Structure 1
Amino acid sequence: MNNIISTSEAIDQLSKTEKVGQLFMPAAFINDTEEEIQQLEKLISNHHVGGLCFFHSRASAATNFEGKKKVVVNENSYEVLRNLIKRYQKAATYPLLISIDAEWGLAMRIENTPQYPYAITLGANVKNIDLTYEVGKQIAKDCKAAGIHWNLSPVVDINTNPNNPVIGYRSFGDNKENVVSLATAFVKGTQSEGVLTSIKHFPGHGDTATDSHLGLPVIDKTKAELLENELYPFQQLINQGVDSVMVGHLSVPALTTNKNMPSSINKDIISGILRNEMGFDGVVISDALNMHAVSKNYPTLGELEWLAFDAGNDVLCFAEHIEEGIQMILENATDTQINKSIERIWTLKEKAFRKTSLEQGLTDPSSLNRKIAEQSLTLQIGTANEIEAFRKTNHCTITIKRYSNNQSKDEILASIEEMQNEVTDESDVLLLLTPPQIKPTNKFGFLQQEIDFVNQLIQTKKVVLYHFGNPYALKFFNINKTTATVIAYQNFKEFQDVATEHFLGTFEAKGKLPVSLT
């Protein structure tokens, strides 16, 4: 499937209907039924879609953000993914461009695959620039092993809003220069393996408290402010050469005359700002068109797809109404418009299929994760001397962590009560805290009783806190009153090992929190 005609041949040989089909990148699901798989094969074959974007299942967060369906764990997802890609490629007349969100590795979508640290972890140390290059490279190797050409990352949003419900830990931080240097390293590492990237979410999703899966966030800043901050990383990376830019679903009044039109379907923002003012002539891909920020406003089937294309998107990601979308584009678009997008898409395809990758296995992240853990560990409150003095006390150790997904509320509350009894007569407590989830919904998964218990400990005891997870979760705790607070960012074994060595005094914390918690 690696033989692909040239861009000029594609423009000459493909019919107009085939060309419009190439603009579409529907979602593919690893845990689909045989019937659903056959439906997608027919769609690929009949409508000549240009690519697929893989998700875990129809119940996963990106597809069903309200969480009404249960996510089924499939231990064999990776093999299923590889086989599905081969199967879908066979159904295609022209090779499919296969994409996935693998910001921290295939593990973002697929269980039992390598997981690398989150962007916020990498942002905790400027010495992680070389290591971030390696992260991009390793993730690209895993993509190639699976049959994926296009990693829809990195996130180059500057996360300046601590209440951001959807970016947060996915951003390299709140400093634009650090975001640029780390994102550049990630892109170059990915490119070194011949895998495509996409910087996102243009024109900047960092300063919002609304999740665009559910509603339309408003970025109410002047154009000068946006150029200074939100747009800065995009411009810097565009200047260096990037494969594609993903446009987010955002309301950015300062960049458009049509104040109610989201950025993802806004001609002023895509054709005007991104193309003309910022000089980007590569592939523009929409953020998922199923997201409620846009999908719920366009009940006429095909209209959203046409608006997205007409605004300047070349690739319509997670389009749900392909037949109607193709029809509406055929009726409304000019040949010039269609051919320009095909030229961009096909150039990307030629690049993706240039390297025939040998069969290879998945990477082992352990060594690289250990190096990143060593550079990132952050002593946020207190000093090494205070931890050393604490270590010599007769302290007790308390661990707050979910040991299984099936723990009931009653079991968690019983565990808290047990811990309360344990610490009654203690004056010094080493607290190892792992938030139940990485995302901020429902207080990162903490019960209010857990939050109250931790804050009571901090208030009444000498507490040294080691935190293994999204640092934004610390805003629920009065860490300024702790003897020391150390942020490890991840709950991987390598990060736990480094934290242990730090507590024992054999390792010095070198990281710095890359965001503000308030």
Structure 2
Amino acid sequence: MANCRSVVFLLFSVLSFVSSYAQTATPTFLQPNARINRWADSVFATLTPDERIAQLIMVAGYSNRKPAYEDSLVTLVRTNKLGGVVMFQGGPIRQAKLTNRLQALSTVPLLIAMDAEWGLAMRLDSTVRYPYQMTLGAIQGNDSLIYQMGANLARQARRLGVHVNFAPSVDVNNNPNNPVINFRSFGEDKYAVARKALAYVRGMEDNQLLTSIKHFPGHGDTGTDSHFDLPLIGKSRSQLDSLELYPFRELIKAGVSGVMVAHLSIPALDTTRNRPSTLSPAIVTNLLKTELGFQGLIFSDAMNMKGVTKYFPSGQADELGLEAGMDVLEFTEDVPAALAQIRQAVLDGRITQESLDERCRKVLRAKAWVGLDQYKPVVLDNLVNDLNPVQDELLNRRLTEASLTVLKNDRNLLPLQRLDTLRIASVAIESDKLTAFQQMAANYTQVDHFNLTSKTPDSTIAQVRDSLKNYNLLLVDIHLNNIRPGARYGLQAKTAGLVSELVATGKAVVTVFGNAYALDKLTFPNDTVLVSRNIEQARAIVMPYQLTNYTEDLSAQLIFGAIGASGKLPVTVNQRFRAGDGLAIQPIGRLKYTIPEEVGIDSRFLTQQVDSLVNVGISQRAFPGCVVQMAKDGKVIFRKAYGTFTYDASLGAEPKPVQLDDLFDMASVTKISTSTPALMRLVDEGKFNIDGKMADYLPSFKKSNKANLVWRDVLTHQARLKAWIPFWRDTKNPDGTWKPKTFKTERSSRFPIEVTDSLYLFRNYPKTIFEQIRDSPLNEKKEYVYSDLSFILYPQIVKRLTGENFEDYLKETFYRPLGATTLTYNPRRFYSLNRIAPTEYDSLFRNTLIWGRVHDEGAAMLNGLSGHAGLFGTANDLMKLMEMYRQGGTYAGQPFISARTMAEFTRYQFPELGNRRGLGFEKPSFTYTGNAPRSATKDSFGHSGFTGTFTWMDPDPKYNLTYVFLSNRVYPTRNNNRISMLNTRTNVAEALYQAIKRGIQ
């Protein structure tokens, strides 16, 4: 149905702009309707002539003022029986209460209006804020998004009891120094302005919200703000016809319901000196009504603005506005004076009562059309929630994404590739705190952050300048907290100097979070040379047009290739940056961070399900804390940290709240994160044969009982290997003392392997471990027995086949190119314990809390590095590796493993034997046992870890999901197995499956 509506809308838009379409449509509220006409006529018949005049006046209302103000407003409206109120600053609950109070005391329901060009948030707190019109002007070929914005805004307005939106602005902004329109315009292309304005209008009016396009006959080409003075438009009539009037003409043809007239002096239309257009019969009646054929409601711009009151005092201006042909006077300041002047004008014959009566009937028809003939008070229950639907977050993301504009991309730098070759620093200009842009950038790879403002001491800047020499790429994000030209868009001289210095390095990708015209205003200190001439030294330039969380978030995702860019500049900034500029950027498949609704999932359902399952686990002390991360179709839709590192501080680790970027011991998830990808890569390179024998790659095994074991059997845990060997037990004497050449309490050249702060292993003991594996007995029967032993050997095989140390090989081949930089062994080398979840208090072997060291005893004796355990990392970085698997071995356009090898390793190998394993990978049991999500398909795969970790991928097109669950369930003891009893890890994954199924339905 939604697609059908979009097609109908687009078809209508095309028809509306066919040049032969000259018939002016009647606004919907004035079209024949028995109910509307009957109510309007019946109400009109009850009104006195004075009350009919009062229906044409709207006063200002504020919901953020004291009770005395509200009392005076109520008295003003009730005493004069006014027709409407224009609401300004406040909050939704307060405005709703004020609206209900005013409506309850009005004989004729009030028409409530707002100036909400970019949403109710233009005036109210706790409401949705949409992009500015200039931002929307950058969107190419997707005006249906703007239609949806209008529709959503209409529903919010109506829920709040608002009936008119004084929007959109259809001014063609062809003056960069325009102090009042500027970012409020769709741009300088009259065709685009008309097309986008129509989409916005249709969205609102199709959902029963009256609109008022503005500022007739065109406020775009002036350097004066009509709030403070009367602007002079010196254009000829032909110039006005060809440009300024075009959008108004087209929308009037399409049947727009309202037009707002601006306070402008336009000699080409009215030669009377200092007469504002709002008071001009030549402009309001002759041009707008007669020549353009507009039949709807004509609203004045606010009658308190200096553009009208400078030469015409309140009262007189109101009367002259109606005399000029206005239907509704907005923001009348002195209502008694205005009513008196209008009555006198009727007596004097300057205005006929009949014309006022006709305007009153028009207002009453509009009131009936918006449902005031069946008026109901605004319901306060759930009002704020209803005004902030999650669908609007998705729409805001889509609008922002569609508007992002890349103005330079030297040598196709964007999107960033080969992350392993980049040393990246982000430099936030005019922000002294970590920004949303910086936070999002850090999701993709290691990024070091610096923050500079115009108040940063020179000594600090010098230190930062020195530090930046160590990086080969600078992400410079400029945060401009003012959108207006009068404030130089928030730019300071020092800011300009910092930017010029950074781009001069030739290493900068610059993102300007602010008005597009700011590109022309960044100047060197004490210099007249425009930075726009020097900003060419930046390697890439991204223009998001505004400073919002959405623009920061999505600009970073654009730079790293999770999303593309298709926006075009809607205005000309200077000779270098002209309207229509914008380079197309294609996404390359890195994880996108978004909300569940983007992939058709109800975020409330998913969150409730996951929260419930995890909180039960924490409350039953199955684990102290965890991180859950979920993705569908390569889009991360759920990321949440729960609980704390520990239950208390009794063992020395504080119960710090878990954070998304904390590192966990992966335990056996290490098997598919280290050994398995290494083997797959070696298979692709022809260096490893999964149907070869153990002795082929382990020469020391040639005379062992394992020489002829086939790797395919080994990797599927059916090669008769023992499950595990408690290596540490062989290091102790019966009396509990350490055997010779095992452990010492102090480090030395002979005992260098650090197992704890006070326990060091003999340097050659790892060789003993490998020999123990070699010499261990085999199980009698060839059947599935999960075994760690072969995975302990893979680091040796990888080193033998590649010549590289295992960890170096993994980091260079997989982790750094993926941007998974936290995946590491022995994380204490790189991260503070404050970021690493502690695991078990080991009372049998190490007699200490295991924190920042591998939990597995065998891996600990191998210097923390093994193919079966020892890997640490964040949920986000683990997901990058897993997402590469789900995508068939490719990530961000870079092949890591062939699709053929991925398919081979992740399929059931011996289902006929009842063995559910892939090669290295776990797969769903043939009958449900809880080892995988209940809905997991036969193509899915993953692995669990002893410490409470789990990851699962399902490439089935129906699901396309990637899931990571990291916890430290072994804290403080491995004897706690409640996580398995509750089946928390796979049940949380099942919640994602169920959420996807609900979305499909």
Is residue 122–residue 128 contact of structure 1 (8 Å, CA) maintained in 2?
Answer: no
Supply the distance in 2 between the matched residues of 1:394 and 1:384 (Cα, whole angstroms): 18
Is residue 416–residue 453 contact of structure 1 (8 Å, CA) maintained in 2?
Answer: no
1:452-463 pair list within 5 angstroms:
452-463=497-508
Is residue 366–residue 494 contact of structure 1 (8 Å, CA) maintained in 2?
Answer: no
- What does residue 175 of structure 1 align with? 189
Q: Of residues 365, 375, 382 in structure 2, which corresponds to 1:347?
A: 365
Supply the distance in 1 between the matched residues of 2:45 and 2:224 (Cα, whole angstroms): 45
% identical aligned pairs: 35
Deviations 1:29-80 (A, max 9, x none): 12121111111111111101100001116xxxxxxxxxxxxxxxxxxx1110
- What does residue 441 of structure 1 align with? 486
Q: Aligned letter for 1:421? A: Q
1:422 aligns with 2:464: yes
Is residue 469–residue 489 contact of structure 1 (8 Å, CA) maintained in 2?
Answer: yes
1:20 aligns with 2:53: yes
Supply the distance in 2 between the matched residues of 1:248 and 1:163 (Cα, whole angstroms): 18
Deviations 1:455-477 (A, max 9, x none): 23223543210122322222222
Give the deviation of 1:497 after TM superposition.
Answer: 2.7
- What does residue 63 of structure 2 align with? 30
Is residue 480–residue 547 contact of structure 2 (8 Å, CA) maintained in 1?
Answer: no
- What does residue 397 of structure 1 align with? 426
Supply the distance in 2 between the matched residues of 1:128 and 1:415 (Cα, whole angstroms): 46
Supply the distance in 2 between the matched residues of 1:403 and 1:10 (Cα, whole angstroms): 59
1:504 aligns with 2:565: no
Give the deviation of 1:200 after TM superposition.
Answer: 0.3
Supply the distance in 1 between the matched residues of 2:465 and 2:521 (Cα, whole angstroms): 21
Is residue 113–residue 163 contact of structure 2 (8 Å, CA) maintained in 1?
Answer: yes
Give the deviation of 1:210 after TM superposition.
Answer: 1.0
Distance 1:389 1:163, change over 3 A: farther
Supply the distance in 2 between the matched residues of 1:116 and 1:164 (Cα, whole angstroms): 22
- What does residue 9 of structure 1 align with? 42
1:385 aligns with 2:412: yes
Supply the distance in 2 between the matched residues of 1:455 and 1:292 (Cα, whole angstroms): 40
Supply the distance in 2 between the matched residues of 1:148 and 1:461 (Cα, whole angstroms): 52
Give the deviation of 1:442 after TM superposition.
Answer: 1.6
1:413 aligns with 2:455: yes
The structure number with the bigger radius of gyration is 2
Supply the distance in 1 between the matched residues of 2:410 and 2:86 (Cα, whole angstroms): 47
Is residue 469–residue 488 contact of structure 1 (8 Å, CA) maintained in 2?
Answer: yes
Supply the distance in 2 between the matched residues of 1:159 and 1:463 (Cα, whole angstroms): 31
- What does residue 153 of structure 1 align with? 167
Distance 1:376 1:454, change over 3 A: same
Give the deviation of 1:451 after TM superposition.
Answer: 2.2
Distance 1:415 1:488, change over 3 A: farther
Q: Of residues 228, 240, 244 in structure 2, which corresponds to 1:226?
A: 240
Supply the distance in 2 between the matched residues of 1:83 and 1:304 (Cα, whole angstroms): 32
- Secondary structure in 2 matching 1:25: strand
1:312 aligns with 2:325: yes
Distance 1:411 1:372, change over 3 A: closer
Is residue 236–residue 268 contact of structure 2 (8 Å, CA) maintained in 1?
Answer: yes
Q: Aligned letter for 1:400? A: I
Distance 1:161 1:81, change over 3 A: same
Give the deviation of 1:294 after TM superposition.
Answer: 1.2
Is residue 36–residue 365 contact of structure 2 (8 Å, CA) maintained in 1?
Answer: no
Q: Of residues 496, 502, 505 in structure 2, which corresponds to 1:451?
A: 496
Distance 1:18 1:138, change over 3 A: same
- What does residue 61 of structure 1 align with? none
- What does residue 957 of structure 2 align with? none
Distance 1:416 1:250, change over 3 A: farther
Q: Aligned letter for 1:320? A: E
Is residue 229–residue 310 contact of structure 2 (8 Å, CA) maintained in 1?
Answer: no
Distance 1:376 1:415, change over 3 A: farther
Give the deviation of 1:424 after TM superposition.
Answer: 3.5
Give the deviation of 1:441 after TM superposition.
Answer: 2.6
1:46 aligns with 2:75: no
Q: Aligned letter for 1:386? A: L
- Secondary structure in 2 matching 1:413: coil
Supply the distance in 1 between the matched residues of 2:516 and 2:156 (Cα, whole angstroms): 28
Is residue 156–residue 179 contact of structure 1 (8 Å, CA) maintained in 2?
Answer: yes
Q: Aligned letter for 2:549? A: K
**Greater RCO, CA 8 A, separation 6+:** 1
Residue range with higher mean Cα deviation, 432-441 or 327-336: 432-441
Is residue 468–residue 487 contact of structure 1 (8 Å, CA) maintained in 2?
Answer: yes
Q: TM-score under structure 2 normalisation?
A: 0.47
Is residue 36–residue 369 contact of structure 2 (8 Å, CA) maintained in 1?
Answer: no
Q: Of residues 571, 574, 580 in structure 2, which corresponds to 1:515?
A: 571
- What does residue 109 of structure 2 align with? 95
- What does residue 471 of structure 1 align with? 516
- What does residue 65 of structure 1 align with? none
Q: Aligned letter for 2:465? A: V
Supply the distance in 1 between the matched residues of 2:432 and 2:248 (Cα, whole angstroms): 40
Is residue 128–residue 372 contact of structure 1 (8 Å, CA) maintained in 2?
Answer: no
1:56 aligns with 2:89: yes
Is residue 395–residue 426 contact of structure 1 (8 Å, CA) maintained in 2?
Answer: no
Supply the distance in 2 between the matched residues of 1:395 and 1:14 (Cα, whole angstroms): 71
Distance 1:513 1:416, change over 3 A: farther
- What does residue 495 of structure 1 align with? 551
Give the deviation of 1:402 after TM superposition.
Answer: 4.4
Supply the distance in 1 between the matched residues of 2:48 and 2:102 (Cα, whole angstroms): 21
Q: Aligned letter for 2:120? A: L
- Secondary structure in 1 matching 2:468: coil
1:187-206 pair list within 5 angstroms:
187-206=201-220
1:367 aligns with 2:412: no
Q: TM-score under structure 1 normalisation?
A: 0.90
Supply the distance in 2 between the matched residues of 1:290 and 1:229 (Cα, whole angstroms): 28
Give the deviation of 1:295 after TM superposition.
Answer: 1.3
Deviations 1:469-514 (A, max 9, x none): 3222222222333221101223333332321222113332111111
Give unmatched runs, 5+ long, in structure 2.
Answer: 1-34, 347-351, 434-451, 523-530, 575-1001
Q: Of residues 463, 476, 480 in structure 1, which corresponds to 2:536?
A: 480
- Secondary structure in 1 matching 2:426: strand
Give the deviation of 1:209 after TM superposition.
Answer: 1.2
Give the deviation of 1:293 after TM superposition.
Answer: 1.1
- What does residue 63 of structure 1 align with? none
Distance 1:515 1:416, change over 3 A: farther
- What does residue 296 of structure 2 align with? 282
Distance 1:420 1:55, change over 3 A: farther
Is residue 4–residue 353 contact of structure 1 (8 Å, CA) maintained in 2?
Answer: no
Q: Aligned letter for 2:66? A: T
Give unmatched runs, 5+ long, in structure 1.
Answer: 58-76, 405-409
- What does residue 258 of structure 2 align with? 244
Distance 1:277 1:484, change over 3 A: same
Q: Of residues 262, 276, 279 in structure 2, which corresponds to 1:262?
A: 276
- What does residue 332 of structure 1 align with? 345
Supply the distance in 2 between the matched residues of 1:277 and 1:420 (Cα, whole angstroms): 65
Distance 1:20 1:255, change over 3 A: same
Supply the distance in 2 between the matched residues of 1:91 and 1:384 (Cα, whole angstroms): 67
